[in-house]
Amino acid sequence: MNFPLDEVIAKLEGYVRDLQVPIVDLIAAQTQDPFKVLVATILSARTKDEVTAEAARRLFARAETPEQLAKLTVPELEKLIFPVGFFRNKAKHLSELPRALFERFAGKVPCEIDDLVTLPGVGRKTANLVRSVAFALPAICVDTHVHRIMNIWGYVATETPLATEMALREKLPEKYWIRINGLLVAFGQSTCRPVAPHCDACPIADLCPKLGVTPRKSGKAATTPNVLSGAPQEQLFVSWNVNGLRAVLGKGFAEALESLNADIVALQEIKAHPEQLPEEITTLPGYRQFWHPAKRKGYSGTAIFSKKEPLAVHYGIGKPEFDCEGRVLTLEFADYFFVTAYFPNAQDELKRLDFKLAFDAAMLEYMNRLRAQKTVLLCGDFNVAHKEIDLARPKENRGNPGFSDEERAWMDSLLDAGYVDTFRKFCPDPGQYSWWSYRANARAKNIGWRIDYFVVDAQSESRVLEASIHSGIPGSDHCPVSIRFK
């Protein structure tokens, strides 16, 4: 079916009219000043609009022009723009910006993409936004919302925001180029959210094919934390095998974290020690970070980023043969343990099956010990698809690593021991996967496996309100999975 783009955009234009205008559009409308639009766009990357608005207000009170900006030191800039995301990097870029503008562009902001991307702190997304918003010239700014929603609609089938931009340049009518970003950002922040889109309240639900979407349950109340009553607050927990943190950084990782806005993010297969990572990750605003890398550099490892300070952190499970590979990391909170694990791969010809089964057994023992104290949540890459429904080609893969009888039997024993596979509790449908081979265009064809899980002890099952797979989020060969928990 051809996607009825004109009809959809007309409906959305009416729908977003009363919603908040994205901050960069607002600054453009209020100031009509390309320099301010450029600075606000740099500030806005990976930052909530309210935070950007405040930081821009403080900064513009001191520096409204490149000349005034040149007089501010990096520490002054850091202080003025804190707490925008990656404020240290942004302060550095802003301090270098005036010289770049004067040396090459006579102190004026250029309007061509090729010129804009030569400025400090300006990537393709920023350049497109500045060109379209500040100069009203044709450009398509593809941020995480545009990329995600265009793929949900099936209007493009792409893996990265850059590929989406290129595909849209080919097929999106030019009359929509400038507007599409503001429209889909407002729609993506309010309704077609990255986690559990509000399809039940969506004005284009009957026109949308909802590709790769797990909608929120119809009729479910909005997720407002009940702080005043003292009731447990609803939290969003995300688990993601990033297959190399350094590799995923250039593929929209920070944007994905921003759009998910989770309370806890558990990462597996980080393949890095924190000192090997750039500041933009190790100083991620709003999160405390806990790292359990493997001793061997560039291999395995886990990490957890948490908005809340845990009572205690446990590195490993007391088994040196597994702990040296950084496979398990646990945060302890007042009323639950949050455990993330990167289960070993059984490898070709099941060469490492015994090692994996020993790990599996040790994990179950560990979980049972924790469960005796309080709620226990286990998330991560289990490296096994449990049932035939959990992979696209069960017959061809029977006995292969990740779908051997022995590995699947351990999943049976885990559930028999009183743990719940939260995703299956909410979604009995086939075709829901969290990992796709890089080969043979498997992801585009959805020839995948569901091997990333959130498991909870059965006594605490009712604390899990929702479970989702975010197959539209690119960057790794795995996609993030999540639960809402209270």
Which residues contact ligand SF4 by CB under 6 A? 152, 191-192, 197-199, 202, 204-205, 208, 210, 213, 215
Output the smallest distance, CB 142 to ligand SF4, in A.
Answer: 17
* Cβ nearer to ligand SF4, comparing 194 with 402: 194
Output the smallest distance, CB 213 to ligand SF4, in A.
Answer: 4
Q: Is 174 helix (H, G, I), strand (E, B) or coil?
A: helix
Output the smallest distance, CB 152 to ligand SF4, in A.
Answer: 5
* Cβ nearer to ligand SF4, comparing 218 with 224: 218
Q: Which residues neighbour 6 within 8 Å (Cβ) at sequence distance 6 or greater?
A: none
From the candidates 143, 263, 381, 421, give the one annotated as an active-site residue.
381
* Cβ nearer to ligand SF4, comparing 59 with 467: 467
In the annotation, is 381 catalytic? yes
Lookup: tokens for 425: 């509790």
Alpha-carbon distance of 127 to 122, in angstroms, equals 6
Alpha-carbon distance of 482 to 231, in angstroms, equals 22
* Cβ nearer to ligand SF4, comparing 91 with 208: 208
Alpha-carbon distance of 338 to 100, in angstroms, equals 47
Lookup: tokens for 402: 């990740």
Backbone phi, psi, residue 41, to 5°: -65, -40
Exposed, middle or buried by CB within 10 Å (0-12, 13-18, 19+), for 183?
buried
Backbone phi, psi, residue 111, to 5°: -110, -5
Output the smallest distance, CB 11 to ligand SF4, in A.
Answer: 10
DSSP states of 180-221: HHHHHHHHHHHTS-SSS--GGG-TTTTT---TT--PPPTTPP
Output the smallest distance, CB 65 to ligand SF4, in A.
Answer: 41
Among 193, 307, 268, 234, CA closest to 453? 268
Is residue 270 within 8 A of residue 289, CB to CB? The reply is no
* Cβ nearer to ligand SF4, comparing 156 with 204: 204
* Cβ nearer to ligand SF4, comparing 101 with 156: 156
Among 342, 257, 256, 339, CA closest to 299? 342
* Cβ nearer to ligand SF4, comparing 233 with 446: 446
Output the smallest distance, CB 442 to ligand SF4, in A.
Answer: 23
Which is it for the CA torsion 300, 305, 309, 310, positive or negative?
negative
Backbone phi, psi, residue 71, to 5°: -85, -10
Output the smallest distance, CB 261 to ligand SF4, in A.
Answer: 17
Q: Judging by DSSP bridges, how do beta strands 264-268 and 481-485 pair with one another? A: unpaired
Q: Is the peptide bond before 83 cis (omega within 30 degrees of 0)?
A: yes
Active site residues: 381
